[in-house]
Amino acid sequence: MDTVAQKTLYERLGGKEGIASLVDDIVEAHMHNPVIQVRFLPYKEDPENLKKIKGHLVDFFSEGSGGNVSYKGRDMETTHKGMNISEAEYMAATDDIMNTLDKHGIDEQSKKDVLAIAYSLKEQIMKL
């Protein structure tokens, strides 16, 4: 019998296809979130770059959640260097992620696991 504890987070999020769907909805939520939309709306005008960034996010989430996927993008500190991300922006992005997980019917343990990962990356993302 498959239980939540027996499956990897990657499996619980629906594998690469499920994570790709989550990423699409998370980025869309960011584009509508008044706290952070200014950082994401320019990607609407650059669909090639948006596709590339979404691909990196899918790979990052896939590898980080236990999938047999290799993330080849920059580390979080390098990616966010000089962006001066505020606590409010970080929390808005995290809220968008959690709301999207709810929308997709992700189980409570998986949401807790994703939240733990998000908080583990906070210092790297908010570094000046």
The domains found in the chain, sorted by start residue, are 8-126 (1.10.490.10)
Q: What is the pLDDT of residue 123?
A: 87
CA–CA separation, 83 and 125 (whole Å): 9
The encoded tokens of residue 84 equal: 């001066």
Reading the block at residue 113, the tokens are: 């696991």
Q: Does 56 count as an annotated binding residue?
A: yes
The answer to the question of whether 32 is labelled as a binding residue is: no
Q: Is the pTM of this model over 0.75?
A: yes
64-68, 76-80, 113-117, 119-123, range with the lowest pLDDT: 76-80
d(CA 11, CA 5): 11
